[in-house]
Amino acid sequence: MRVVVVGGGIVGAAAGYELVRAGVDTVLVDGAADGRATSAGAGIICPWASAVDDPDWYRMAAGGAEYYEGLRAALAEDGETDLGYRRVGSLSLVSESEAAQAFQRVADRAREAPLAGDVEVIDARQAQEMFPPLGHDGPAIHIPGAARLDGRLVRDAMRRAAVRRGARIAEGTASIVADGAVRGVLVGEEFIGADAVIAAAGAWSPALLGPLGVEVRVEPQRGQIVHLRLPGAETSRWPVVLPQSRHYLLAFDDSRIVVGATREEGAGFDYRVTAAGLAEVLAEALSVAPGLADATYAETRVGFRPAGPDIRPLLGAVPHVKGLVVANGLGASGLTMGPYAGSIAARVARDVDPGIDLKAYDPLR
């Protein structure tokens, strides 16, 4: 059996890695477009703190957090350990009046998820000891099991491991060849025959699938994410900070602080850093962590999240095109659930039990 995976982000890389580990002849097609969501994403693994109350979204997000445990072990066996992954915990900033209700929601989820750890409410002083630039004067919900990672490193590790196991990478723009069933893909002048194709092209999927008469309701949502540096600061153990807004702060080992992010509808594939986007992200960050005012600006990354019609992923087989599987629409949750979603898509392509009921994730809804 041969499966072609179209899309070089974290979902496609995970699908390819899962396939080749199962002994499938695997080809990964990567168009390397500017603005791929994986290259810009922040990498926060903390579904238990989310205010999203859709149980099907949460099932996928929580499964994604758990999936990283086995994935990290598998990659380590393949010699890949540099993922930027560390369990640093998270701080959800709340007011005194909100603390009890917020804690109860997180604690209820944590009871069903040992990975989350022992959730507790801490005061402002304790929170600032964990993340010194903070200016928050209220309580925080501390989730010790939360983690952060570098999406680029995880993606690249899975690709390298897949290639070592026999996968091939084809560079270029793909078009799918099908006549009621997939026959393969064209990459430039090369035809690559396939028994199944996984379409994991993110925000570019409508252009990939439209010629087949397959409509996926995905649009690019621009995200601008700012990287700062605090020279000399030991940031490697600082927790992820989750204010009440949709913004966030997280730290990495190299005195780097990532703050974000905008969620811009209607920007299309406009790959620019804008004055308004930069102002929004920095203003929000400094309102929460005024101690970052003297940080050095390093860069702004721009990514196009594949935003679907609702909060849930678009994941599963396309009934009227035999052998076609869609893995898309992860939106802002791409790095949380991307590897898990990719592994599910790989199982669907192999026509084996995906391990989860996919009705709620119908890719054509």
Task: Specify the 3-state DSSP secondary structure of 72.
Answer: helix
Q: What token pair was written down for 151?
A: 């999406």
Task: Specify the 3-state DSSP secondary structure of 259.
Answer: strand
Residue 244: the pLDDT is 87
CB contact at 8 A, 337 and 60 = yes
Task: Tell me the pLDDT tens digit for each residue of 100-132.
Answer: 999 999 999 999 999 999 999 999 999 999 999
Question: What residues pair up with 258 in beta bridges, in sequence order?
Answer: 227, 250
The length of the chain in residues reads: 365
Cα gap 314→306, rounded to integer Å: 10
CB contact at 8 A, 38 and 9 = yes
Residue 98: the pLDDT is 93
Percent of the chain past pLDDT 70, that is, above it, reads: 100
Residues of the chain with CATH 3.30.9.10: 219-307
CB contact at 8 A, 220 and 305 = yes
Task: Tell me the pLDDT tens digit for each residue of 276-332.
Answer: 999 999 999 999 999 999 999 999 999 999 999 999 999 999 999 999 999 999 999
The overall pTM is greater than 0.75 = yes
Task: Tell me the pLDDT tens digit for each residue of 197-244.
Answer: 999 999 999 999 999 999 999 999 999 999 999 999 999 999 999 998
Q: Phi and psi at residue 139, in whole multiples of 5°?
A: -75, 170
Q: What is the mean pLDDT of residues 15-28?
A: 98
Beta sheet of 219-229, edge-to-edge order: 120-122, 140-143, 90-93, 240-242, 248-251, 256-260, 219-229, 296-307
Task: Tell me the pLDDT tens digit for each residue of 261-272.
Answer: 999 999 999 999
Q: What token pair was written down for 95?
A: 């007011």
Q: What token pair was written down for 85?
A: 């992954």
Q: What is the mean pLDDT of residues 27-44?
A: 93
CB contact at 8 A, 35 and 304 = yes
CB contact at 8 A, 42 and 263 = no
Q: Give, in order, the Cα–Cα distances in Å from 32 to each of 9, 12, 85, 291.
A: 9, 12, 24, 37
Query: Is 3.50.50.60 the CATH number for 2-39+152-218+310-361?
Result: yes
Residue 191: the pLDDT is 98
CB contact at 8 A, 246 and 225 = no
Residue 245 has pLDDT above 90, yes or no: no
CB contact at 8 A, 131 and 109 = no
Q: DSSP code of 172?
A: S
Residue 256 has pLDDT above 90, yes or no: yes
Task: Tell me the pLDDT tens digit for each residue of 132-185.
Answer: 999 999 999 999 999 999 999 999 999 999 999 999 999 999 999 999 999 999
Residue 33: the pLDDT is 87
Residue 350's Cβ-side half-sphere holds a number of Cα atoms within 13 Å equal to 21
CB contact at 8 A, 196 and 349 = yes
Tell the CATH superfamily of the 219-307 domain. Answer: D-Amino Acid Oxidase, subunit A, domain 2 (3.30.9.10)
Residue 32: the pLDDT is 79
Beta sheet of 182-187, edge-to-edge order: 174-178, 182-187, 190-193
Residues of the chain with CATH 3.50.50.60: 2-39+152-218+310-361
Residue-by-residue DSSP string for 115-137? GG---EEE-HHHHHHHSTT----
Residue 246: the pLDDT is 84
Task: Tell me the pLDDT tens digit for each residue of 41-95.
Answer: 999 999 999 999 999 999 999 999 999 999 999 999 999 999 999 999 999 999 9
Please name the residue ranges forming H helices in the chain.
10-21, 37-40, 55-77, 96-111, 124-130, 151-164, 205-209, 275-288, 334-349
